[in-house]
Amino acid sequence: MSSGKQRGFSSAAGLIQYYDMEETQAVKIHPWIIIGVGFALAVLVEVLNWRLPS
């Protein structure tokens, strides 16, 4: 056992500060756009699978 004080996770404060900062130059995408693109991609894959069976 060490004779010094027990310290917690030392980099936790740095991570918390990092994630608390808000990015102002990032591209903002609405969540419904992501859902719509995923749905459209799934439909496209199914249509192509139906039209071009392997």
Structure confidence at residue 46 (pLDDT): 95
9 or 24, which is more confident? 24
User: For residue 35, what are the contacts with CB-CB under 8 A and spacing of at least 6?
Assistant: none
Helices (H), 1-54: 12-20, 31-51
Domains of the chain, by residue range, sit at: 28-54
* Dihedral angle of Cα 23, 26, 31, 34, to the nearest 10 degrees: -150
Q: pLDDT digit string (tens) for 22-38?
A: 667 878 899 999 999 99
